[in-house]
Amino acid sequence: MSQSTSTQAADAPIISLHNVSKWYGQFQVLCAVDLDVRKGERVVVCGPSGSGKSTLIRCINRLEVHQEGRIFVKGLEMTDNVKNIDAIRRNIGMVFQNFNLFPHLTVLENLTLGPMLTRHMKKADAEDLAMHFLRKVRIPEQARKYPLQLSGGQQQRVAIARSLCMEPEIMLFDEPTSALDPEMIKEVLDTMIELAESGMTMIVVTHEMGFARTVADNVVFMADGRMVESAPPEEFFGNPREERTRTFLDQILKH
């Protein structure tokens, strides 16, 4: 395959979706979605619930399997080839709505598990790495605690640090603040903003329009499994082209 030779032009997309479709039984959740994300780009995906935005990013690291179309990450195609799946997943960190921390492991163990098992790091090195990222997300003092002893915001920051410990080039965020109490949303968004400033490639599914406005290079609006509109934030918020986008923005920004 020509794509596996990953000598690419500097501005070639690091993630590229062509014509991706997916069905749950009869119900089509993704309809021929196209999306290109370049290195260092920050994309925010928004849309009403059930619009397929979560499914879309979950297809990128194959937590869901797409049925039509092609997905490339760093020139590797996501097929059912286990080698490709492994290589792509190592390059992608994922943060979930419900954190999905491992409750039976301490924060530190949550962070070192991946590096030790899949990157074969020594325990001491993995712990150094973990402490480095815990300091980044500003909770190094919680390292010995168990996830359920932390607040929701702290747990989500641990989850971000856990993904970062795999030193990925791309981070996917699946509604990272939706399960949080309002007063904890900011601490997580701040962490994400810092991450964006460090040049990380990010795809973020979120309803936080403030975050989209300040951080995104590109805002994508999805509805009914289709990509309705994709534009830089000034344009997206200032002058949306599509009627559906306008209705959605009206609803979400009015309160």
Partner 1 sequence: MTTASSQTRLVTAAYDPLARMSAADWLKRNLFSSVWQTLLTLVTAAVLLRFFWFVLDWGVINAVWVTSDPDVCRAATGACWAVIVEKHRPMLFGLYPYDEHWRLVLMMVIYLVTVVVSLMPRNWNLRFLVPLWLVAAVSIGVLMFGGVLGLRYVPTSEWGGLPLTMLLFTGTVLFGMPVAVLLALGRRAPLPVARGVSVVFIEALRGVPLITILFVAVNVFPLFLPAGVQVDKLLRITIGIAIFFACYQAEVIRGGLQAIPRGQYEAAASLSLTYWQTTSRIILPQALRICLPAITNHIIAAMKNTSFVIIIGLFDILTATTAVMQDPLWRKFYVEAYLFVAAVYLFFGYALSLYARKVEKWIASGRI
Partner 2 sequence: MIDATPARDGQPSARRSKDLLYSEGFRAAAYQIALAAAVVFVGLFLYQNVVENLQRQNIATGFGFLREVSQFEIGETLINYSARDTYARALLVGLLNTLSVSAAGIVLATIIGFSVGIARVSNNWLLQRIATGYVEIVRNVPVILQVIFWAAVTRNLPAPRQALELWGLGFLSNRGLTFATPVADPAHGWMFLALVAGIALAGIGDRWARRHREATGKHVDMLWPSLAVVIGLPLVVWLAFGAPHLISFPERKGFSFVGGYTISPEFVALMTGISLYASGFIAEIVRAGIEATPKGQVEAARSIALRPRFIMRYVVLPQALRVIVPPLTSQYVSLIKNSSIAVVVGYPDLVNIGNTVMNQTGQAVEAIAVMMTVYLIISVVTSLLMNTYNRLVAIKER
Which position has the token pair 């070192």? 112
User: Residue 104 binds which one of partner 1, partner 2, none, with CB within 5 to 8 A depending on kind?
Assistant: partner 1
Q: Which is nearer to partner 1, 141 or 242 (CB)?
A: 141
Least distance between partner 2 and beta carbon 187 (Å) = 30
The full DSSP string for 163-189 is HHTT--SEEEEESTTTTS-HHHHHHHH
Which among 81, 168, 74, 166 is positioned nearest to 118, based on CA atoms?
166
Asked if 172 and 94 count as a contact pair (C-beta separation under 8 A), the reply is: yes
Which stretch in 19-27, 38-46, 92-100, 194-202 sits in contact with partner 1 by CB under 8 A? 92-100
Total residues contacting partner 1 (rule CB under 8 A)? 26
User: Residue 101 binds which one of partner 1, partner 2, none, with CB within 5 to 8 A depending on kind?
Assistant: partner 1
Contacts of 199 (CB under 8 A, 6+ apart): 40
Q: Tell me if residue 239 falls in helix, strand or coil.
A: coil
What is the pattern of x (binds partner 1, CB under 8 A) and - over residues 50-69? -----------xxx------
Q: Tell me if residue 114 falls in helix, strand or coil.
A: helix
Binding residues for partner 2, rule: CB under 8 A, are 1, 62-63, 65, 67-70, 77, 79-85
Determine the residue type at 227.
M
User: Residue 77 binds which one of partner 2, partner 1, none, with CB within 5 to 8 A depending on kind?
Assistant: partner 2
Task: Round to the nearest angstrom and report the end-to-end CA distance of the chain.
Answer: 51
Residue 89 binds partner 1 (CB under 8 A): yes
Which chain residues interact with partner 1 by CB under 8 A?
61-63, 85-86, 89-90, 92-94, 96, 98, 100-104, 113-114, 117-118, 146, 149, 162-163, 166
